Copies of this chain bind each other. A is one copy, B any other.
Amino acid sequence: MQFTAQEISLLLNGTVEGDAFVKVDKLAKIEEGEAGSLTFLANPKYEQFLYTTNASVVIINQDLQLTAPVKGTLIRVENAYSAFTVLLEQYNTLKLNKKGIEEPCFIHPTAQVGADPYIGAFAYIGTNVKIGDHCKIYPNVNIGDNVTIGNNVTLFSGATIYFDCVIGNNVIIHSGAVIGSDGFGFAPNPDGTYTKIAQIGNVVIGDDVEVGANTAIDRATMGSTVIGKGVKIDNLVQIAHNVEVGEHTVIAGQAGISGSTKIGKNAVIGGQVGISGHINIANGTQLSAQSGINSSITEEGKVWGGTPYMSYKDYLRAHSKLRKLPELDRKVYELEKLIEELRKKGH
């Protein structure tokens, strides 16, 4: 996919300075731009690179005054950053614009697939599955029986959706993610063995959700594990049975949420955070990386850290002293001796 400076300028409603017919076929950062690449300058602190970059085309702001000669072609636009974002998005859409049905794939006769699909080879679509329009089902994806999927959904290679789950519109699920595996529920027996508790619920994922690679979201024991609209989940996250995550909450890599816990809206959960089961986390809560949350948080919009957790301010203060704990210990020992001395002196 090659484009001339002219073509890009037209798309961005810009003006060309220099060779309008130079061709580019990739996007780059300004400091890494090579011949054949397109880049942009938005942040003045990178202006130096404008005069040294080897990029063939650079998008710049309308009003930028050059202070030295540039090698490549310039495209002036009102807002270079926004213009580049538009290109990024378009480039990405082109990259991901797969169409058609590759063979062999498995589509059960009872399954319904909407308009304009991509279905990769070795994808599996089970009994009574309903898939909306403009969906992309990459190779080796597994969609279990009775799953319902909205419009504009992308499931990357090797993602698995267990039976009965429901996926909203505009959802992206990355490779290796597993949606709807059994919750971890076992009843202990007097002899030390466990009996499995059947997990007959499902997972319901709202619109505009993204789920990262190799993340696991378990089905509810009964009812639904619910991922709210707009939630963004990173890689290798564990979400246990009957958890509910409120709208527009963000969960970073390797965090884990135990069974039946309810996370509010607009929360931010850091990497490797662990959250106990059967608790509630208020809207807008922020949890710093690696913190361990073992009881409900009821105040909205606060920041917390540590294991067990405390306010982020307390956490920073306490842990700054932790390193000095041996010195503190020593001081107390010295004080004990001094007081003993004072007391011996006849007090």
Supposing A27-B222, A157-B144 touch, asked if A122 and B120 sit within 8 A by C-beta, the answer is no
Min CB–CB distance A323 → chain B (angstroms)? 5
- Interface secondary structure of A, over-half rule: loop
User: Are B124 and A142 neighbours in the complex by a CB distance under 8 Å?
Assistant: no
User: Are A230 and B194 neighbours in the complex by a CB distance under 8 Å?
Assistant: yes
Beta-carbon nearest neighbor of A329 in chain B: B321
User: Are A139 and B142 neighbours in the complex by a CB distance under 8 Å?
Assistant: yes
Supposing A335-B332, A342-B347 touch, asked if A290 and B319 sit within 8 A by C-beta, the answer is no
**Residue from B106, B176, B272, B320 within 8 A of A139 (CB atoms):** B106
A residues neighboring B (CB under 8 Å) = 27-29, 32, 85, 88-89, 91-92, 95, 102, 104, 106, 120-122, 124, 138-140, 142, 144, 156-158, 160, 162-164, 172, 174-176, 178, 181-182, 184, 186, 192-194, 196-200, 208, 210, 212-216, 218, 222-223, 230, 232, 234-236, 238, 240, 248, 250, 252-254, 256, 258, 265-266, 271-272, 274, 276, 289-290, 292, 294, 306-308, 310, 314, 317-326, 328-329, 331-332, 335-336, 338-339, 342-343, 345, 347
